[in-house]
């Protein structure tokens, strides 16, 4: 029996562990499937991490190391090369590694911190051949940064998610020619600073409203056919263009990795792909919390750490019997706001609400209603799907409220 088991030793898992420790929990076990702590940050050797959290620009491994040092200094126990195979609602964890085989550990509380994975090519149903040379941006990042091998010399990137943008720059710095980044939507899903620093600074063309319609090449990619798309995101006939390349990288979205959560019967939000949580980051299974990219995909690791601290503190409070969950205020959104995290709140404390919008909007009011009453309003000049928004709801506002509605009012 363990007090707290944390599944995943990336930035979310480590940060949650430290927060739980600092809140008084000593019996903590982190289970990590890879051979060292750090998660995906290990391969993110570019800088730009930590500006919010530490006020300095760090590389991914440096950011992870700051937490790994704390985990080690506090003597928090972790097991590497250990894959969690199953969890139950009653918090029984089944895992596998080389030394212990397949083993079970009962936990009093669990924090889910498994991260996310990249959407693969299959879901896009691109026609053509199936040669070598097609990789998700993260796989290419691992080959280049962790293994020291170059996947190819002439690259087309489909999708302008942040990893795709980062890899456009990375491949360029390694001597490859990035010929185009195609984005299906009229806007990029990546951060504005990445568009500037990774594409514009290197004269890499960003083709908005374009997609790859065909892959060419028998054994290795020899080229792709791209096309412009209409307002329904369907390729426009006659707009096809052939680009010679040996590599196609995909950066077409991230999916929270929630197979374990599903197995435990935890309710998932169909929009985020992560668990439905309250402001304590407690899922629908009592004593099971979630944080980081397994909950919803974040823009910056700094925000992941912040969310993980909430989950760590909440798990500690739960273990000490101090977690209030008296009320249940549900939250609805209007479509222009795609989702909020948390999806429901207890009303017991001030809450920072995180949310994403479905399109680029200018001059907007973000309004929070209870019935017909406007409880809160915030002006923004510009909101975009690629940038997570937040607002603070004061506890006082939530008295006598049973449901909240988030709406985006666009000023004409």
Partner 1 sequence: MYDIIIIGAGVVGGLIARELSAYDLNICIVEKEHDVAMGASGANSGIVHAGYDAKPGTLKAKLNVLGSSLMPKVARELGVKYQNNGSMVIGFSEDDRIVLEGLLKRGLQNGVKDLRIVEQDELRELEPALSKDVLCALLAPTGSIICPYELTIAAIGNAMDNGAHLELDFPVEKIKKTEEGYEVISGEKSLQAKYVINAAGVYGDDIAAMAGDDSFSIHPRRGEYILLDRECGNLISHTIFRTPGKMGKGILITPTVDGNLLVGPTAVDIEDKDNTETTQEGLHYIMSQARENVPDIPFGKTITSFCGLRSVGNTGDFIIKASDTGWINVSAIESPGLSASPAIALYAIDLLKEQGLNLVKKESYDPIREPQHKFHEASMEEKNEMIKKNPAYGKIVCRCETVSEGEILDAIRRNPKARDLDGVKRRTRAQMGRCQGGFCSAQIIELLAREWNIPYDKVTKSGGDSYINIGRTKEV
Q: Which residues would be at the binding site for partner 1 (CB under 8 A)?
A: 33, 81, 83, 85, 96-102, 117-118, 120-123, 125, 127-132, 135-136, 138-139, 142-144, 146-153, 174-175, 213-214, 218-220, 235, 246, 259
Given the complex with partner 1, which of 239 and 370 has the nearer CB atom? 239
20-26 contacts at long range (C-beta below 8 A, 24 or more positions apart): 20/111, 20/312, 20/313, 20/315, 20/316, 21/74, 21/76, 21/312, 22/312, 23/312, 23/313, 23/316, 23/317, 24/316, 24/320, 25/315, 25/316, 25/319
CA distance 267 to 276: 6
C-beta of residue 101 within 8 angstroms of C-beta of residue 117: no
Given the complex with partner 1, which of 123 and 236 has the nearer CB atom? 123
Query: Minimal distance in Å, beta carbon 64 to partner 1?
Result: 18
Compute the C-alpha angle 321/325/327, nearest 5°: 155
CA distance 195 to 63: 22
Query: Minimal distance in Å, beta carbon 13 to partner 1?
Result: 16
Query: Minimal distance in Å, beta carbon 146 to partner 1?
Result: 7
Query: Minimal distance in Å, beta carbon 139 to partner 1?
Result: 5
CA distance 159 to 183: 5
For 51, the token pair is 């500006």
CA distance 94 to 58: 35
Query: Minimal distance in Å, beta carbon 153 to partner 1?
Result: 6
Given the complex with partner 1, which of 145 and 194 has the nearer CB atom? 145
Given the complex with partner 1, which of 34 and 387 has the nearer CB atom? 34
Given the complex with partner 1, which of 152 and 306 has the nearer CB atom? 152
For 378, the token pair is 């915030």
Query: Minimal distance in Å, beta carbon 118 to partner 1?
Result: 5
Given the complex with partner 1, which of 294 and 331 has the nearer CB atom? 294
Query: Minimal distance in Å, beta carbon 404 to partner 1?
Result: 30
CA distance 273 to 341: 12
For 14, the token pair is 């480590």
The SS3 call for residue 134 is strand
CA distance 81 to 1: 21
Residues forming beta bridges with residue 332, ordered by sequence position? 405
Query: Minimal distance in Å, beta carbon 86 to partner 1?
Result: 10
Half-sphere exposure of 300 (CA within 13 A, CB side): 22
For 408, the token pair is 């985006």
Query: Minimal distance in Å, beta carbon 312 to partner 1?
Result: 24
Given the complex with partner 1, which of 117 and 380 has the nearer CB atom? 117
Given the complex with partner 1, which of 189 and 312 has the nearer CB atom? 189
CA distance 314 to 207: 44
Given the complex with partner 1, which of 98 and 399 has the nearer CB atom? 98
């Amino acid at each position: 029996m363990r007090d707290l088991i944390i599944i995943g030793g990336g930035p979310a898992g480590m940060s949650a562990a430290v927060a739980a420790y600092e809140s008084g929990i000593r019996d903590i076990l982190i289970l990590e499937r890879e051979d060292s702590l750090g998660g995906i940050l290990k391969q993110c050797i570019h800088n730009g991490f930590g500006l919010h959290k530490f006020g300095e620009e760090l590389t991914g491994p440096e950011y992870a190391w700051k937490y790994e040092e704390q985990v080690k200094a506090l003597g928090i126990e972790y097991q590497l090369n250990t894959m969690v195979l199953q969890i139950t609602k009653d918090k029984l964890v089944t895992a596998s590694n080389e030394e212990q085989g397949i083993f079970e550990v009962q936990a009093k509380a669990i924090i889910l911190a498994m991260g996310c994975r990249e959407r693969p090519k299959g879901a896009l149903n691109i026609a053509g051949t199936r040669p070598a040379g097609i990789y998700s941006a993260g796989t290419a990042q691992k080959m280049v940064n962790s293994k020291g091998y170059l996947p190819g010399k002439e690259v087309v990137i489909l999708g302008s998610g942040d990893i795709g943008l980062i890899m456009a720059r990375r491949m360029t710095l390694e001597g490859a020619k990035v010929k185009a980044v195609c984005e299906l939507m009229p806007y990029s899903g990546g951060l504005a600073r990445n568009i500037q620093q990774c594409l514009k600074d290197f004269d890499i063309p960003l083709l908005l409203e374009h997609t790859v319609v065909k892959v060419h090449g028998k054994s290795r990619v020899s080229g792709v056919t791209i096309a412009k798309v209409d307002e329904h995101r369907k390729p426009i006939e006659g707009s096809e263009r052939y680009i010679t390349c040996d590599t196609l990288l995909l950066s077409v979205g991230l999916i929270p990795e929630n197979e374990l959560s599903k197995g435990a019967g935890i309710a998932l939000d169909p929009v985020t792909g992560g668990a439905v949580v309250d402001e304590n980051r407690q899922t629908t299974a009592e004593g099971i919390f979630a944080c980081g990219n397994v909950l919803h995909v974040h823009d910056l690791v700094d925000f992941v750490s912040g969310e993980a601290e909430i989950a760590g503190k909440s798990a500690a409070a739960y273990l000490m019997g101090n977690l209030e969950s008296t009320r249940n205020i549900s939250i609805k959104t209007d479509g222009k706001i795609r989702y909020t995290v948390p999806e429901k709140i207890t009303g017991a404390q001030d809450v920072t609400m995180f949310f994403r919008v479905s399109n680029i909007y200018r001059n907007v009011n973000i309004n929070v209603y209870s019935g017909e009453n406007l409880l809160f309003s915030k002006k923004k000049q510009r909101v975009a799907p690629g940038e997570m928004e937040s607002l603070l709801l004061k506890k006082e506002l939530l008295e006598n409220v049973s449901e909240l509605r988030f709406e985006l009012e666009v000023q004409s």
